[in-house]
Amino acid sequence: MCKDLSLGFEDETKIPIQGVIAVERERVYRLPRDFVAFQDALIMNRVGVFIDDRNFLDLVNDDGNIISGLVTAGTGEAEVKKTRKRVIRNTKDLAKEGAVYAGPRRFGWLGPDKKTGRRGNEKIDMSEWPYLVSLIKQAYANKGWRTMTSYMSLSPMKTVRGNDVWNDATIKFMVTSPAWWGGRILDGKIVTDKKGDPVIGDWEHATMERDGIGYETWLAIMERINSKRHSRGMAQDAPTREVMRTGKYVWSGFLRCGRINKIGHICYSKITATPSSGRNKKYGPAYLCRSPACKGVGRKLAAVELYLDSLVLAYLDKHFSDTEPSTVPWSSEKELENLREQLSSVEASISSGEIAWTDAHNVLTQLQSGIRKMEGERAAHLEAEAKRNLVRGWKRERWDMMDVSQKRAVIGQVISAVVVMPIPEGTSKKAPFNPDLLKIAWRKDEAA
């Protein structure tokens, strides 16, 4: 059976074989070594379907549960452990190649098609895809799982198993899976190449350009989920980074107060938005300086946003619409590579007994901390590049798809501050909004 399965057809009849359906899995394998042979065959087959009593089992991407089940089949613990290691290695090799995920169909992708040779989870399903993208954006915007679950249950979409009713776990799995941006997770870490960049798989996936979501979006979502988990005392299991601050107001913090304060200096405090309340109620929401040392400036929020948004959009159209998204390589790649090589040669010398561990201790810790520091710099560089790619190749439609935090990131790329000047003495309370009182500092040096 395993031979036929690996070949993809029955040897004698040439009838294609794409999987195995069994009444009981014990009829297929009983010992770990049978399992390994069977699993290898499924991997070779690339489609690798295994159905046990109507349950679809994902042997290729097994996280250890199926293997653990073998312990009860009367085999030694050691043999099971060995097998388990082997299974993980198989999965790893596939992931490192960026091979198409060979398990059950994922929501958002098409299943396999023999006629066209299409593999499962390779091509996007255009009817499901917009829903997946929307769920990811909702998660990024901090919507609750329950909201997203009822959004799907009310939609005409069914789960991959054909259910109309969705549950939180399914939604969570879809949103947190790195597959939607082309990545894979193994051992709680993103699969990366030698340089530390995520390996992007050879299946269709979301892009910032078309879908407005990408690796960065995923990192932000995972960060939020992990920080919640952490606060409940659970272990973290995915890469983390600084939480992206998402306020409600686009221009909060970019605006600075331009009034001369009580001690004779320009106040220059960061101005934040205030919803209409109390004695300001009749003016509506406003951006206000609240420094205690300052008499304050204030401006109506709607007028400020209308003016500054249109200014930024005009600037982006002019300077970024015919640029190309690109990533400037990090300049110290060689040095990092060097440190890594040194570390592995020191490690090799220790394990071969050339150097005593006690002698190498200082060198080792220095190399390790040097590598960590450079990896941090590298990550910061890539993040800055990703932010700059928010504006490169600019198209105006992008703005409307962005949430507050994305708009703020774009503004941060082109504007360093906007100073709000006080309204001159004697101006009528009814005077219209005067844009000349907003002094803008553009980031000219950072044009693409």
Q: Please give the Cα distance from 206 to 133 (Å, whole number).
A: 8
Query: Which stretch in 50-58, 177-185, 252-260, 325-333 sits in contact with Zn ion by CB under 5 A?
Result: 252-260
When asked if residue 149 is in the footprint of Zn ion (CB under 5 A), the reply is no
CB of 248 to Zn ion, least distance (A): 21
Strands 19-22 and 185-186: unpaired
Residues 85-124 that bind Zn ion (CB under 5 A): none
Query: Which stretch in 194-202, 283-291, 311-319, 325-333 sits in contact with Zn ion by CB under 5 A?
Result: 283-291
Query: Which stretch in 23-31, 207-215, 249-257, 356-364 sits in contact with Zn ion by CB under 5 A?
Result: 249-257
> Which of residues 121 and 291 has its CB atom nearest to Zn ion in the complex?
291
> Given candidates 87, 206, 289, 316, which one binds Zn ion under the rule CB under 5 A?
289
Please calculate the CA angle 392-394-398 and round it to the nearest 5 degrees: 125
CB of 298 to Zn ion, least distance (A): 10
Q: Please give the Cα distance from 164 to 222 (Å, whole number).
A: 27
> Given candidates 49, 100, 124, 294, which one binds Zn ion under the rule CB under 5 A?
294
Q: In what order do the strands lie in the sheet with 272-274?
A: 272-274, 286-288, 298-300
Query: Which stretch in 136-144, 162-170, 209-217, 294-302 sits in contact with Zn ion by CB under 5 A?
Result: 294-302
CB of 443 to Zn ion, least distance (A): 23
When asked if residue 257 is in the footprint of Zn ion (CB under 5 A), the reply is yes
Taking a C-beta distance cutoff of 8 angstroms, is the pair 418, 254 a contact? yes
Using CB under 5 A as the binding criterion, the count of chain residues that bind Zn ion stands at 7
Q: What is the DSSP letter of 273?
A: E
Strands 255-257 and 415-420: parallel
Dihedrals φ, ψ of 20, to 5°? -135, 135
Query: Percentages helix, strand, coil for the chain, rounded to the nearest 5?
Result: 45, 10, 40
CB of 277 to Zn ion, least distance (A): 20
> Which of residues 124 and 257 has its CB atom nearest to Zn ion in the complex?
257
> Which of residues 233 and 292 has its CB atom nearest to Zn ion in the complex?
292
Strands 272-274 and 286-288: antiparallel
Q: Please give the Cα distance from 175 to 185 (Å, whole number).
A: 13
Query: Which stretch in 24-32, 132-140, 204-212, 262-270 sits in contact with Zn ion by CB under 5 A?
Result: 262-270
> Given candidates 138, 269, 274, 413, which one binds Zn ion under the rule CB under 5 A?
269
> Given candidates 267, 414, 419, 438, which one binds Zn ion under the rule CB under 5 A?
267
> Which of residues 78 and 263 has its CB atom nearest to Zn ion in the complex?
263
In angstroms and rounded to an integer, the radius of gyration of the C-alpha atoms of the chain is: 28
> Which of residues 38 and 287 has its CB atom nearest to Zn ion in the complex?
287
Q: Tokens 């951006």 belong to which residue?
A: 287
> Given candidates 45, 291, 389, 406, which one binds Zn ion under the rule CB under 5 A?
291
When asked if residue 286 is in the footprint of Zn ion (CB under 5 A), the reply is no
Contacts of 59 (CB under 8 A, 6+ apart): 38, 39, 42, 48, 50, 66
Taking a C-beta distance cutoff of 8 angstroms, is the pair 120, 102 a contact? yes
Q: Please give the Cα distance from 234 to 363 (Å, whole number).
A: 34
CB of 439 to Zn ion, least distance (A): 14
- Interface with Zn ion (CB under 5 A): 257, 259, 267, 269, 289, 291, 294
